[in-house]
């Protein structure tokens, strides 16, 4: 999967540093009310699937100096994910 | 100069007393206003607010250590803890509230460390209030991109053979590191082991404490 390279305004839980990067799903965490809606006092429903996505540090940071298999795991909501190699605006 | 200063000449700044801070910040003032309104309108009582604060201040890393020690002595419990943190917390009598606990296990080949780059998400119900450094921009921005250097600053030098896994707590999960059980504790009781599972070892910036020799 990869994270959409999008920069909408609002309250977002998708860190900038990972947008546009490809990773693998580590697990499905369940479905949770969408924080982007909750932040504006809306219900956040329907609940959105939330995944833990594992990225290789060397993919995320160009100059990463640790081991090539060092990772960073991040929780990403489904609507921020697209198939790897997909189009990114 | 104050009388206090007359007794010793120096130029380093004194710590500010908790009550002697500058004017309230915008958000501090808002918190006071909202709290007073909630009490005035009878939605909460001042005693309920006080009790919540008392409850939060009373929490500490001993709660998380209870889970860690149980996992060290009971491999089946450990497996349950790694697949479903919440029910493992319930098993030892801990209340997780609305959060979902993910426990990540350190092994001789992989070391885990927790951060919240967006704010300061932290398993308060297991570890108490987070340390100031956990909330600092320095830790939050650096541990995610140069974890080995940051861990070294904490005094934890990881060999090159160990993979580092950073966990960025960005949404609804809360994380706890299951540290490696220290060598030489094979005969130890669960209670005694719990003292070795320190707060920092459960965040992942340290190993479990070294046991005193028997």
B100, B146, B168 member nearest A73 (Cβ)? B168
Question: What does the DSSP 8-state code read for residue A71?
Answer: E
* Of B87, B68, B80, B103, nearest in space to B173 by CA: B103
Determine contact, residues B104/B177, Cβ cutoff 8 Å: yes
pLDDT tens, residue by residue, B139-191 = 999 999 999 999 999 999 999 999 999 999 988 899 999 999 999 999 999 99
Q: What is the mean pLDDT of chain B?
A: 91
Q: Count residue pairs from A and B with Cβ separation < 8 A.
A: 73
The C-alpha atoms of residue B167 and residue B70 are separated, in whole angstroms, by 23
Q: Does the beta carbon of B163 lie under 8 angstroms from any beta carbon of chain A?
A: yes
Interface with chain A: mutation pick from B171, B175, B177, B204, highest number of A CBs within 10 Å: B171
Q: What is the pTM of this model?
A: 0.88
CB B168 to CB A72 under 8 A?
A: yes
Question: What does the DSSP 8-state code read for residue A23?
Answer: -
The C-alpha atoms of residue B146 and residue A77 are separated, in whole angstroms, by 25
Task: List the structure tokens of B27.
Answer: 């958000």
- Judge whether residue B10 has pLDDT over 90: no
Q: How many helices (H) and strands (E) does chain B have?
A: 12, 4
Q: Does the beta carbon of B165 lie under 8 angstroms from any beta carbon of chain A?
A: yes
Q: Please report which confidence band the pLDDT of residue B212 belongs to, taking 50, 70 and 90 as the band edges.
A: confident
- Indicate the helix (H) or strand (E) that contains B51: helix B46-58
**Chain A hits for B165, Cβ within 8 Å:** 70-73
Top-confidence residue, B103 or B8: B103
pLDDT at B213: 72
Catalytic residues of B: 116, 119-121
CA B54 to chain centre: 17
- Judge whether residue B12 has pLDDT over 60: no
- Judge whether residue B21 has pLDDT over 70: no
Contact partners, residue A29, CB within 8 Å, separation at least 6: A50, A51, A52, A75, B100, B102, B171, B172, B173
Lowest mean pLDDT among A25-34, B16-25, B39-48, B204-213: B16-25
CB A71 to CB B147 under 8 A?
A: no
**Chain A hits for B171, Cβ within 8 Å:** 13, 29, 32, 35, 50, 75-77
CB B171 to CB A61 under 8 A?
A: no
pLDDT at B211: 87
* Of B167, B166, B137, B138, nearest in space to B153 by CA: B138
CB A74 to CB B168 under 8 A?
A: yes
Q: Does the beta carbon of B87 lie under 8 angstroms from any beta carbon of chain A?
A: no
Contact partners, residue B34, CB within 8 Å, separation at least 6: none
Determine contact, residues A50/A78, Cβ cutoff 8 Å: yes
């Amino acid at each position: 999967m990869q994270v959409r390279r999008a920069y909408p305004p609002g309250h977002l839980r998708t860190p900038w540093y990972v947008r546009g990067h490809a990773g693998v799903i580590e697990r499905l965490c369940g479905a949770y009310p969408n924080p982007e809606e909750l932040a504006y006092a809306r219900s956040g429903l329907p609940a959105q699937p939330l995944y833990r996505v594992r990225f290789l540090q060397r993919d995320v940071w160009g100059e990463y100096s640790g081991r090539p298999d060092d990772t960073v795991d991040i929780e990403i909501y489904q609507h921020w994910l697209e198939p790897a190699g997909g189009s990114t605006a | 100069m104050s009388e206090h200063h007359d007794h010793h000449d120096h130029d380093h700044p004194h710590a500010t007393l908790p009550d002697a801070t500058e004017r309230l910040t915008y958000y501090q003032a808002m918190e006071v206003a909202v709290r007073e309104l909630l009490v005035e309108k009878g939605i909460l009582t001042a005693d309920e607010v006080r009790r919540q604060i008392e409850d939060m201040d009373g929490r500490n890393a001993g709660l998380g250590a209870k889970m860690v020690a149980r996992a060290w002595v009971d491999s089946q419990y450990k497996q349950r803890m790694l697949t479903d943190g919440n029910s493992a917390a319930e098993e030892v009598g801990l209340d997780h509230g609305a959060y979902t606990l993910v426990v990540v296990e350190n092994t001789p080949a992989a070391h885990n460390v927790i951060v919240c780059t967006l704010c300061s998400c932290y398993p308060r119900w297991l570890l108490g209030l987070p340390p100031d450094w956990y909330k600092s921009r320095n830790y939050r921005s650096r541990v995610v991109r140069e974890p080995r250097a940051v861990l070294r600053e904490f005094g934890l030098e990881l060999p090159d053979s160990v993979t580092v896994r950073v966990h960025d707590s960005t949404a609804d999960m809360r994380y706890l590191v299951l540290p490696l059980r220290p060598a030489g504790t094979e005969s130890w009781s669960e209670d005694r082991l719990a003292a070795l599972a320190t707060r920092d070892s459960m965040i992942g910036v340290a190993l479990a404490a070294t046991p005193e020799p028997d």
